[in-house]
A and B are shown apart, each in its own frame.
Chain A
């Protein structure tokens, strides 16, 4: 073992590959994340009067009741969202990977759709369904004289956020569950372990990397998300406070940037804690031939119960999209359980006006997601397998992107690239659509990175060593052994990055320089600024969901087929 480690050490020293990759990635992160963000947030450390370095602004932050209240609210909402999201994701992931379940792929795909909640409309749809005067409460009040405050204050934020982000847990946990060596489970069963105990002691602990990856994403994302609280008019949370400070005219004080710094630091802390939780444990399994847990057949009664649970969860998590669909066909929907009448005309409007938005979105989101999984896989490999000094920092910096508010990144890009003219045309570089792709890739990189890291954590080192002992080069080992074994995780990363990039608005809105380059989220934004645009906006939102949903489903089908062909499934 020592000799093996030594050879690997020496290989790493001789081969420049990892170092070159690390430097390239570091440069990319530096250019498109660190520099633009620093351009904006250095204000947080500046004395307003003299421009000198100071920490007084941070003292102000901690002495301010509103900011402290916002801080605790954000913390509470994030923690509760992880709890609720886990309650939604666990049954779905477990039932679909552990049992013979018809429609498992469909359920997995449907489970991802909540991530594609188009901006603005998602909240409108939720208010129409669950709000104080939404469908559910109007019906409850008419028939039983009661109402349930789903959407009041912080409750509303927790409710919407856990529905919105639970797919992070679902996707990563499912990928982990599929990767668990069946032999582990069989050994446990042979030793007399069954049922819930088997799940609690063997299956769930082995799937831990995926769960922790998902849960930490949910926590950080909810902590940093500003769209949902803003649209629900809950503004005493950190991210909305930062956004409100930064984007209001005249209030150009440093506090907005101080809050951004606090957000970034908290996200890194959360990440560090989740890394600590995983530390000193080995999740890799060697035996890959059996691939995935044995799928058990359920007894009829169990089957009915399982379907009932899955159906209930699906109805709940797809509620915003059900509302969205109703809205897209509705003529007028106002203070009534259901729309007054239905029409097709919104789709006609969108069909005529928005083709360009859709092609742009597909192009941008798939390029960004591709970039994300390539970089994500590379960083995961460097961090887990190489001995490069400071490699952890690539991970930390990339993850910090999660905490950078979209507006900050957008303004940073304008500051960094606006004065750089493009070759030949002389247009500002920041107006080039590829810059938008980079912004999206940076914003969504953390998702892909977590998924890739979790996937690699489950691949045993000895498989690579075996391949290398048989004479394969490093590159060949990675491309023929490591990446195929990670494919589930990489796909999970691609899907999350793609789906969320397709509906990203906050950075986009600063960077769109011409209508012909604008993505769908921008189109939605434009529609949702007027009363007459609500129907067409919803219709465009449905288009977005259908397209991304189809893409997700297709990639699942492809990956499942790949598994079967490689004999990884039974």
Chain B
């Protein structure tokens, strides 16, 4: 009896396998996914997937990206996770570097090589992009109206005096996606000019949040007016009914959110099926749901999208301005984070005071021009913009070595400890901002 059943089952399996060639075997069992995505996204995919593959029980474990990476590292010796599913490509790079992922080439056809200027899949096949997102500016329209602020369009708009104390961002060391925004500006405008822009905007910051979601959360509730956020935060907030709006600046990078199979995955077959599922037309459509609102990587899916849905495959201005160089970004990754933290995050009060003084002097000068004051003001601006390291130094492995624990060998010399380097940068920034403030105040006195 049971033998005949088995026989029938086997025959059926063969039949199924031959009819749906893409899915060689009907997967079953428990599939464990560690993800940083919100419930709205995961539960929508969960429902769709379980409908298509009722035999697989999908177990979703929510962790923020950093905690997820730590979790996989700590549990690698007895791995119980099948998939890692998160936005930031750099988190996958870390896992890849630690040899915690395994290669898989998705069977789905029709997915292009690149979105904007960014490759969708990892060249070695360790992880695959499934949705694209771009950075932009989000604002609360009630807040803007009450404070009589104009809508910003470009990053440089955010440096205008009118936005003083109204802008928020999350720290790049805390949010992989913010890091990409900062890096995009650096690559788009060059190291020196890029940092100048970054710091001029930073002078207008109201706060620097610790979680990426802290920014859209604050804009939604109106505790600050403008946030630098990834598109889906803004789009899904809008869809939830919050009075917020969003714009992509010209210099933006569209980056893929990714999924990767964990090395020694307990249920490899089901993991592969899941990857193929979310790339399939059926899976990609889930991304269009109002509470999710991410950009599909499968260009065909845009046919089913609402009329004003951004399409990076058609709208060539989106994300193609900057030719994002992943290698440059990788080489100075930790240095850029630490620079931002030491020069901006932890010196925000000094930076803001200097910025305020510069804005005031600028306004006074516009009314009553004065050459000497103008020169002083330019000096003040340069002091704020000054960097303790050049682009070459930032990419120097010697410096980067101060920020990593893993050394290739015990004899690798680390010239300075991270804490020393940071203290040096912090002192540099503090002195410069104080000097800039003084110069701006002198300029103001002259222009009065």
Contact = CB atoms under 8 A, between A and B. Distances in A.
Interface in A497-553: 509-510, 512-515, 522, 525-534
Contact of A335 (B143, B174, B412): B143
A509 to B, nearest CB: 6
Interface string A400-430: 0000000000010011001101000001100
B154 interface: no
Interface in B410-437: 410, 412-414, 417-420, 422-423, 426-427, 430
A336 B338 CA distance: 37
B221 A124 contact: yes
Given A133-B222, A248-B337, A334-B220, A529 B413 contact: no
Interface string A113-151: 000000000001001100111100000000000000000
B414 A512 contact: no
Contacts of A414: 71, 74-75
A333 interface: yes
B237 A235 contact: no
Contacts of A66: 342, 346, 422-423, 426
A513 B78 CA distance: 13
A61 B419 contact: yes
Contact of A249 (B91, B208, B422): B91
Contacts of B61: 512-515
Nearest to B411: A49
Interface stretch (A157-165, A250-258, A285-293, A310-318): A250-258
Interface in B62-90: 62-63, 65-67, 69-71, 74-75, 77-78, 80, 90
B262 to A, nearest CB: 14
Interface stretch (B129-137, B185-193, B239-247, B357-365): B239-247
Residue of B60, B291, B418 most packed against chain A (CB within 10 A): B418
Give the interface size bracket for A toward B.
35 or more
Interface of A: 48-51, 56-57, 60-61, 63-66, 124, 127-128, 131-134, 230-231, 233, 235-236, 240, 244, 247-253, 255, 331-336, 411, 414-415, 418-419, 421, 427-428, 431, 509-510, 512-515, 522, 525-534
16 contacts: A64-B423, A127-B221, A235-B208, A251-B338, A251-B418, A334-B222, A334-B242, A336-B222, A418-B74, A421-B78, A509-B67, A513-B80, A514-B32, A514-B61, A515-B60, A531-B220
The 6 closest A-B pairs by CB, nearest first: A335-B222, A530-B38, A60-B419, A531-B237, A335-B142, A414-B74
A110 B419 CA distance: 46
A527 B217 CA distance: 12
Nearest to A50: B410
A354 B221 CA distance: 25
Given A251-B338, A527-B39, A531-B216, A48 B221 contact: no
Q: Is the interface of B mostly helix, strand, loop or mixed?
A: helix
Contacts, number: 193
A299 B384 CA distance: 65
Nearest to A419: B77
A260 to B, nearest CB: 15
Contacts of A124: 217, 221
B39 A49 contact: no
Contact of B403 (A230, A253, A415, A514): A253
Given A331-B241, A530-B40, A533-B39, A230 B346 contact: no
B213 A529 contact: yes
A351 B413 CA distance: 58
A531 B66 contact: no
A531 B337 contact: no
Interface of B: 32, 37-41, 59-63, 65-67, 69-71, 74-75, 77-78, 80, 90-91, 94, 140, 142-143, 146, 173-174, 176, 207-210, 213-214, 216-218, 220-223, 233, 236-237, 239-244, 291, 333-334, 337-338, 342, 345-346, 403-405, 407, 410, 412-414, 417-420, 422-423, 426-427, 430
Nearest to B347: A66
B242 A253 contact: no
B222 A255 contact: no
Contact of A236 (B69, B216, B346, B404): B346
Nearest to A127: B223
A249 B436 CA distance: 33
Contacts of A248: 66, 173-174, 337
